[in-house]
């Protein structure tokens, strides 16, 4: 038979990594399809190959998609598509049948060589319908078996694959992890700063980066500085107490879709004893998890929606220094049977205050009483006759960033000099004579100097960016303080009209923190010192003092010391 009279066909081959060892390799499929086409006197006009692609859906198989498009465009006038087995065409029953109907609409039929199926025959489509459903079930079974194998591996305390967590390196011989001492020390620092020192995640990142800590690079493009995602991952990973977790993240189907899935956190997951050594102890881990839980809780109010814990977080525990939080206590009046709600500030942290003891401050401070005392001090300060003059002077003051601008210009001059030196050195490198018997030594020396220049240029650029940020912050703080002083100018008239939420926002912006005595003094005084975020003027009562603190000539904040009378 002449070649021009042969029936034209496409061949489609696909393999996923798990199938290569089972006789379904790309070369084996190609060889089988080629021999079939020769036997049936067919001409293979184009080959489509999806290597390492799953058959669970059409999405993610670019060659398959291109083949369907070529069929619809009648690119080569083919009559058949040849596949090794139906499972190579697809494992999703709906996709298989939809794709089959699609190509048949354009007069193209499917032949599954190994299965002996031809969709152009009467029995072909029925067989495809049944086998495609079986293929989908098979795919799901493979997935379940794979997951069970991984789960069993986790039960045995083995590492389940993937890169080692920060602080560890892979022990491939034992399917386990071994400690990387330098990184492990950073892990201990992170947990200690978060659980015992009260630092937030951003503050921890700044601390590590400013103190020269660097993370190891797995790839050339990786960065060595610490960022929030890594620190969050470290704080939530039980691997650091010697555990192996499996199933923390699961894949679930998006409702209303056929092939769309999403990864979500699981409420229940396997947690087994690992074969590796722990980096931190369980007590430190539990302290960190308790703080993470407190930080992430979205409170659902069960009391008056109008109530706000106005000074929550501002009052410092006199034992451990943590911020007191608002709590609610419900009680029933025995005489009237009415339910009453009281609000308090309490320390809910149990941080270690030394090597052995945890915070044991158990006093509950009545919110109404504490709020009233702080409000009276602030109102008394504002009503002082000299306060108006002080506010006026502050509102007229302009932000002064001249020193910062001078510093920035000095660094820019240094940067220009470094750039000039780099350019001259580059020109000298270009002029080196390769025939010079000292060429290699001169080249290495110049290259080392060039590397040093690039380091200094990078440091100068970072320094300029840092100064720019300080200038931006200075203007931002000036605007914020101006707004605050403008509010204080009329505070005595507007305070009583504020809602609890507005009062809370004001105090959170105005007060840095409040110190209290461990117990009430003889005269019932519990407030010890108030630290304001902005400079203020206050004469106070006899015995009270107030001053402005200064760092490098820049006023930062002020403290009000409340002395016994």
Annotated active-site positions, please?
16
DSSP conformational letter for 198: -
Cα 123 to Cα 457: distance, rounded to the nearest angstrom: 75
DSSP conformational letter for 304: -
Structure tokens that stand for 276 in this block: 């590796």
**Residue 374 CB contacts under 8 Å (≥ 6 apart), including other chains:** 311, 507, 511, 514, 527, 530
DSSP conformational letter for 16: -
Contact 318, 516 (CB under 8 A): yes
Structure tokens that stand for 437 in this block: 């018997």
- Tell how strand 325-332 and strand 270-273 pair up: unpaired
Contact 203, 209 (CB under 8 A): no
Which among 64, 129, 75 has a CA at the least distance from the CA of 106?
Answer: 75
Cα 209 to Cα 343: distance, rounded to the nearest angstrom: 41
Instruction: Tell me the backbone φ, ψ of residue 365, rounded to 5 degrees.
Output: -95, 125
Cα 245 to Cα 181: distance, rounded to the nearest angstrom: 22
Three-state DSSP state, 532: strand
Contact 539, 384 (CB under 8 A): yes
Contact 68, 32 (CB under 8 A): no
Which among 111, 143, 144, 117 has a CA at the least distance from the CA of 131?
Answer: 117
Cα 84 to Cα 97: distance, rounded to the nearest angstrom: 17
């Amino acid at each position: 038979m002449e070649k021009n009279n042969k029936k034209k066909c496409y061949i489609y081959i696909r393999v996923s990594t798990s199938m290569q060892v089972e006789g379904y390799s790309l070369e084996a499929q190609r060889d089988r399809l080629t021999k079939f086409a020769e036997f049936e006197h067919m001409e293979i006009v184009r080959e489509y190959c999806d290597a390492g692609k799953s058959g669970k859906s059409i999405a993610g198989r670019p060659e398959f998609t291109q083949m369907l498009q070529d069929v619809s465009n009648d690119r080569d006038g083919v009559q058949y598509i040849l596949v090794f087995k139906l499972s190579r065409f697809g494992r999703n029953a709906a996709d298989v049948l939809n794709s089959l109907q699609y190509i048949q609409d354009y007069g193209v039929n499917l032949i599954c060589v190994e299965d002996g199926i031809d969709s152009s025959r009467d029995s072909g489509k029925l067989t495809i319908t049944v086998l495609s459903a079986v293929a989908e079930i098979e795919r799901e079974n493979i997935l379940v078996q794979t997951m069970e194998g991984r789960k069993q591996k986790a039960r045995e305390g083995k590492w389940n694959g993937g890169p080692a967590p920060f602080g560890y390196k892979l022990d491939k011989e034992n399917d386990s992890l071994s400690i990387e001492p330098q990184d492990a020390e950073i892990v201990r620092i992170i947990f200690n700063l978060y659980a015992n020192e009260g630092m937030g995640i951003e503050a921890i990142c700044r601390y590590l980066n400013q103190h020269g800590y660097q993370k190891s690079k797995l790839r050339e493009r990786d960065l060595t500085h610490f960022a929030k995602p890594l620190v969050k991952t470290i704080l939530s990973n039980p691997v650091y107490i010697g555990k192996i977790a499996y199933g923390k993240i699961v894949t679930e189907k998006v409702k209303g879709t056929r092939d769309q899935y999403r990864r979500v956190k699981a409420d229940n997951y396997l947690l087994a004893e690992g074969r590796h050594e722990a980096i931190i102890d369980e007590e430190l881990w539990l302290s960190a998890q308790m703080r993470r839980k407190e930080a992430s809780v979205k409170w659902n109010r069960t009391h008056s929606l109008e109530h706000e814990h106005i000074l929550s977080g501002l009052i410092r525990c006199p034992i451990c220094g943590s911020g007191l939080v608002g709590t609610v206590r419900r009680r029933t009046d025995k005489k009237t049977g009415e339910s009453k709600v009281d609000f308090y500030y309490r320390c809910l942290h149990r941080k270690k205050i030394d090597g052995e003891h945890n915070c044991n401050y158990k006093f509950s401070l009545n919110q109404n009483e504490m709020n009233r005392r702080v409000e009276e001090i602030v109102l008394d300060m504002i009503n002082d006759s000299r306060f108006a003059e002080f506010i006026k002077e502050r509102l007229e003051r302009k932000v002064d960033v001249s020193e910062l601008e001078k510093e920035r210009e000095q660094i820019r001059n240094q940067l220009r000099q470094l750039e000039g030196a780099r350019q001259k050195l580059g020109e000298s490198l270009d002029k080196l004579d390769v025939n010079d018997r000292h060429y290699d030594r001169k080249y290495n020396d110049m290259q080392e100097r060039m590397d040093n220049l690039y380091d200094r240029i990078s440091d100068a650029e970072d320094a300029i960016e840092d100064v720019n940020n300080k200038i931006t912050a200075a203007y931002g703080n000036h605007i914020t303080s101006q707004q605050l002083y403008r509010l204080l100018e009329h505070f005595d008239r507007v305070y009583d009209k504020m809602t609890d939420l507005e009062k809370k926002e004001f105090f959170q912006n105005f007060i840095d923190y409040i110190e209290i005595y461990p117990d009430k003094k003889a005269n019932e005084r519990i407030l010890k010192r108030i630290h304001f975020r902005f400079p203020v003027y206050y004469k106070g009562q006899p015995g009270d003092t107030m001053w402005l603190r200064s760092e490098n000539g820049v006023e930062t904040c002020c403290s009000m010391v409340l002395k016994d009378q």
